[in-house]
Amino acid sequence: MPTTPSVSVILPTRNGLPFLSLAVDSILAQSVADLELIIIDNGSSDQTESWIQTVRDPRVVYVKLSEPGIGRALNYGLTFARSQLIARMDADDVSLPNRLELQVRFLNEHPKAVLVGSQFQFFASGRLAKATPLPTEDAKIRHHLSHGSPVLCHPAILFRTTAALSAGGYRTEGVGEELDFFLRMGEFGEIRNTPQILHYYRVSQESVSVASVSALSEAHQYALSCWRMRASGQPEPPLPEFQAYWHRRPAFAKMLTRVDEFGRIARRRSLVHRLWHRRVLSLAWLLVAGVCSPVRAKLHVSRFLDSIRERPDKHEVS
């Protein structure tokens, strides 16, 4: 690839087989052919490396990290990418063929925007389920982000490389790295979503662990704390200092957090049941999620009502 590609796609993976092949094929089949696909092996112990060696496409670049970590993998991709536009992709998802074409066009037509996502659908085992429509306008996206609701599908975003580097790249290790990144990117320009469905997000049938949801809550609260301090012109709290505060909160505050976390788990269980057409169980878990997380439920309802009022073009791109 002697010339600079139009888009660099960062795809971190860790034991991504057997779904990795479908994800890679969906990127290599994009209508934007002038791209590079950077696959970053984030500590795989399966046959990922052997499989990638069978991919005979010069646009594919394989990097194996000596020190695993999702934040480290994404940051490596930022510095390795040769294009001025970078797309994210997950190892078990599928991007529709015109995804990159439409997102590149969007950023070209909206110079104030530094990042654009898209609408998406959940899928598992050949089944599809609609997601609550995501807001498309910058102001509404910022409103949701400020409440800890990352209304962008992380593996479906495209962003400007210079803005990402200026924002400091990805800082949070482990889960929840996306909210911190979105909030900081918003300080360099507009954040938008396209109205079209351009991505399928795979949902695992495995139960979401309490530990992972707890880590997500802590990471999101740290991201919000840093954002508020930056907005007020004050230095961000060091992560160890925030963690000490987070774990010594009053028992009642911790209880409210645990209830909200169970609401997240309940929403995920509702989604899994919906994908498998277990409507009664899906509705029951959705009601539990609403009771446990009324603020999140209100945000979901507001997104749904906004989508009805605005009636955006949500057709699938083939």
279 lies in some domain: no
Total domains in the fold of the chain: 1
Instruction: State the pLDDT at residue 11.
Output: 97
Cα–Cα distance measured from residue 107 to residue 117, given in angstroms and rounded to the nearest whole number: 11
Residue 105 is assigned to a structural domain of this protein:
yes
CATH code of residue 151: 3.90.550.10
pTM: 0.92
What is the C-alpha separation between 156 and 249, in angstroms, rounded? Answer: 36
Looking at residue 297, what is its pLDDT? 87
Residue 267 lies in a domain: no
Note the pLDDT tens digit of each residue in 4-59. 999 999 999 999 999 999 999 999 999 999 999 999 998 899 999 999 999 999 99
Q: Could you list the residue range(s) of the whole structural domain that residue 174 is in? A: 7-202
Q: Would you say residue 150 lies in a domain?
A: yes
Parallel, antiparallel or unpaired: strands 127-130 and 94-95: unpaired
**Residue 290 lies inside a defined structural domain of this protein:** no
40-54, 159-173, 196-210, 234-248: lowest mean pLDDT where? 196-210
pLDDT computed for residue 67 by the predictor: 80
Could you tell me if residue 76 is inside a domain? yes
C-alpha closest to that of 32 among 107, 135, 92, 113: 107
Asked, for residue 234, whether it belongs to a domain, the answer is no
- Answer yes or no: is 298 within a domain: no
